[in-house]
Amino acid sequence: MLRAGTLTSRTLTEAVLDRVAARNPRLHVFTHIAADALAQADRADAQLASGNAGPLCGLPIAVKDLIDVAGQPATSGSRVLSGRIAETDAPAIACLRDQGAVLIGKVATYEFAMVGPDLSLPNPPARNPWNLANITGGSSSGSAAAVAGGLVRLAIGTDTGGSIRSPSAYCGCVGLKPTYDRVSRAGAFPLSPSLDHTGPLAATVEEAALALDAMTAGDWRPASARIGQPVSGLKIAYARDWFADDPQASPALIKAMDAAASTLSLLGAQITLVTLPDYAPYEASASVILHAQALEEHRTLIRDHANDYGRPTLQCLAFGAAIDAKDVARARQAQTRLTADMLAAMDGYDLILTATTLTPALPFSAFDGENAVWTPMRTIAFNLTGQPALSLPAGFENGLPLGLQLVARHGDEDVLCAAGHAFERATDHSVQRPPR
């Protein structure tokens, strides 16, 4: 409609701002609205009128408050950086701005992308649009809730251990973690530079693929290149034992995953049950690297602003103090070996199919105590290996979304998105909307 001239970006942006004003008091998604949002929309309209507009031109996009957007707050959800305003765009954001996207505002994150929800922080945690009593998952909490709540169709987040994919699964939207280093990590406050990824959360796989293409730096195959193509002949390794054998996996999740495998088979993909390497060593090695690097990133800030941190964040950072250089070296060696093991397990297959999280979103009441609550996921392994991974809706349990995860080889986002798009079109999970 924008490219056809039947809708202007200004009209669309005004409608989005009205919707944010109506829904944000309940969802607690946006922490800042850009003062120049309508001016951005006017510039996009001029670009559209020139006939030289990309697919994202004129579309309002929300950005996680961990990523710099020039002229907007950049606090990483913490009192520690209260009042900080970004002077320049992060490179990934600059790419979106160059395409004419309207960077409408910043959305909630767990403090420094670590743990949450923490009710003691300046901004209340985002609420799950499917049930306001439930969490969104972290740390791209506001990004997922913004999309699922119908405030925007695209949001940008970061993923170090699953922080794009788990909130996407919990909120019923699409989350795409690209290949490591496909999207610049500069301008996003680092959690663990060896594991950090920046990527899109979206209402559909196609929109996520287009956003990833817009943010991509360097010579990569477009993620959207095979959207709409049949998936017949794709060989998919179904890693059922990664979740079905875990006592924490909900029966509804197991049923939804088996149904997803059946759907992909009916679409022509060849589904084979496989046994992947044990998940636990991936999680353990990634945890050592994450906590060691997180502490290094925060040493100076902790020295000067310890009292401004939330207690759960400080507890998380404290784990890093128990890790020494030998621990990190062993974890690095394990990372190399485990990555090779995963790629060897994929030999002969195009994709892995497994779960994103093992349960639907937990209620906020589970987080009333001071200690962190572990939510079972199957995500951090692919931060360790650096492979691209896609989470998309796969069903529901008691009115809350469930998510499946597809994983590809490095650089194969086009295959990943083609399969995700085909599954999305063959089911009605992605068109379901939360109650208003």
Given this model, what pLDDT does residue 223 score?
98
Question: Count of CB atoms within 10 A of residue 211's CB?
Answer: 31
Specify the length of the chain in residues: 436
Beta strands in 235-350 (DSSP E): 235-238, 270-273
Report which residue type is found at 86.
Answer: A
Which segments of the chain have a pLDDT < 70?
369-373
Q: Is 433 left (phi over 0), alpha (psi -120 to 50) or beta?
A: beta
pTM score, whole prediction: 0.97
pLDDT of residue 436: 79
Tell me the C-alpha distance between 321 and 323, whole Å. 6
H/E element, 284: helix 279-305
Phi, psi of 284 (to 5 degrees): -65, -45
Identify the structural domains of the chain with CATH numbers, from first to last: 9-279+332-431 (3.90.1300.10)
Beginning with the edge strand found earlier in the chain, give each strand of the sheet holding 270-273 in spatial order: 30-33, 102-107, 60-64, 154-159, 197-202, 174-177, 389-397, 400-408, 351-355, 235-238, 270-273
Quote the tokens at residue 300. 């100076």
Distance CA(372)–CA(314), nearest Å, equals: 11
Quote the longest CA-to-CA distance of the chain. 62
CA 398/CA 146 separation, integer angstroms: 21
Give the dihedral of Cα atoms 121, 127, 132, 138; nearest 10 deg.
-100
330-352 CB burial, b ≥16 within 10 A, e <16 = ebeebbeebbebbeebbeebbbb
Active-site positions read: 64, 139, 163
